[in-house]
Every structure is written in structure tokens, then in C-alpha cells.
Structure 1
Amino acid sequence: MPLLNDFRGNYSLGYCEDTMQANVEKWLLDYTFWRSTEGGYSREKVNPKTYREVHIPEIGRRSDLIVYFSSRKVFNIECKLFNVEEVVKQAKDHLYWADYSYICFPHNVYMPNYQKKQILEHGIGLLYWIPEFGLVESIMAEHNKSKKDKLIRKNVLRKLKKIDMQNSQQHINF
């Protein structure tokens, strides 16, 4: 039983989940991602797109954060202040469509070893958010090869395109 991380309130750790999500998204957008070019002799910068609070009705879940690199490389990140058991269920559900699924906690959340073992068994990654620093990848997610319900994935990608179109129209309209 954790001594200090009492989870009886949304702000028990000094910040709310929405603030954590926003900071994780900002950090990901500021971070420089690289990929190897053909032949692997040089690298080029990759700018992912991020989407927050995307509803996925087929699994009855809302994805806290989707990081889109390409149609073949889509990450789901579930951000939680506590409640490891529930977030593992959520991350597993997102494996129906995502290439990689991560859980993100504040750095001071206690997680028992049996729950880390569950995360490893399902190929889910674990990130810790440190407000003064950014993200630390504690467990790397495995590529989800068994994935996916193709229809759910297709609908998620379609929804992301629709969000992009709505956002670009908002910039054009004045």
C-alpha cells in the first residue's frame, strides 16, 4: 500500500490529469524525433501529429493522447495520476487498433511489481512524466503485431483525418 500517494481526489498530486496530458503533448511536440532515410546512412526529422481525448466508440474508450507518425506507426498514450489497474485495462483495449500502447504516470506514483509484470506481459510501454524535465521511458512498448481489428483502426485513422480537416478549416475561416 502506498504511503504518500493517496488517490482520493483529482488534485491529490498537485495537478490534474488534463494538465498532465497537455504537458505531455507539448513535450512530445517539442521533442525531436528522427528516422533513418533509405539505406540508413542519414537521418531526417519527423514531426508527429498529436490528438487529445479522441473517442473510440467501438471499444467504448476515449484515448487520452494519440501520437501519429504515419499510417503504420500510431501510438496511444493513456495518462493517469494513479489507478494502475484501470489504466492497464484501458491500454490493453487500445491494442485493438494502435501499433503501440503506453501508460503515462507522474514520476512519483507507486507501482507494485506485479502490475509492472502485467504491463510487460501485454507489450504495453510505461512512461513517467516529470514536470520539470519531461518524459522518461521506463518500459518500451512492443510493436503490436497481433493487433488489430482492421475496421476499428480504419475508423480511428478516418477520425484523425476528420480532426485535421476541421482544424485546418478553423485556421482558414476568419
Structure 2
Amino acid sequence: MRIAFLTAPEGVEQIELTEPWEAVLEAGGEPVLVSTKRGRIQAFNHLDKADTFPVDQVVGDVSAESFDGLVLPGGVANPDALRLDEGAISFVRDFFDQGRPVAAICHAAWTLVEAGVVSGRVLTSWPSLQTDIRNAGGTWVDEQVHVDQGPNVLITSRKPDDLKAFREAFLPEFAQASPKSTS
């Protein structure tokens, strides 16, 4: 199970990166940090700088075909920056085009809106994004985690307090998508 974690160089909510990352590791998978620039990304604890993490691959050098799934961590600045990067948006669209599972938490739904992949889908997010999701043709629900079984599986969650439910929802979907899965 090889899972891409897409972030901008700055602004990802640290716990929304590290908790799902650890879940993939604990499940025997390989998390890969993909960003729009080489080097390190700067994570945040809300508005305060937190740790930095090394970028494994740059979005322009990889494709969705190399991964079993995609995690989009939130943080307000992270998806806002990703929305402006056509390579990042194209990378996200590729997962949907190929029917690969995608998991997004909190403000990461902005990246999905920009990629044009929420129309006809049901998802959750940080509450302030509900109008954006509806305007993009999606249905917003206020749930800890929501799994939409559309053409590809889309797992969404609202906030860091929902990380346990998020983890329990996306891990089985990613494992099922993995060609190495024995299930």
C-alpha cells in the first residue's frame, strides 16, 4: 500500500499530516510526501510554526499510477496554496480519473473543489467550506467522517478531533485498492 500525501511547501496542519501518516505506517504501508517544491515543507499547529518534513517527491515528477491512494491533509493555507498550482490540481484529478481512493480532511476539500471533482459527491469538511462544496455541485454533510462510494472512493472528515474516525475509514479503503492487498 503506497499512499501519496500531497501538501504545499507551507501551511499544512501538522496533526492532519502526521496522524494519517502514522496510520499508513502502522498498517504496513508506505507513505510518500509529495509537494510542489523540493526540500522540506513547513507544518503548522493552527497558526504557529511546527515541524518541518522532507519532501519525498515533487508533484511534477510523479503520477497517480504510482500510488494506491491519496491523502490531502488540511490547514487553511495548505489547500489554498495547492489550489493555485496546476500540477497539484492535475495530480488530484488523476486519482479520480483512475478511480483511485482519495481521503481529505478539514480545509483540504478546497483542493477537491478546485480540481472539479466534487459535483454529485457527498462529503464533509471544515464547516466554513460547505458553501464552496455546494457551489461546486457537491452535497455537504456534518459528519465526523463520510465515505462516498462514487466512481472512486472519497473519504472526507471535518477536523483534527475526527482523526480517529478518519483513520478507521480510509485505511480499509486504501488496503482494498492496493494490488498487494490480500482481502
Q: TM-score range by the shorter chain?
A: 0.3 to 0.5
Q: Which has the higher helix share?
A: 2
* TM value normalised by structure 1: 0.37
Greater RCO, CA 8 A, separation 6+: 2
**Which protein is bigger by CA-based radius of gyration?**
1
* TM value normalised by structure 2: 0.36
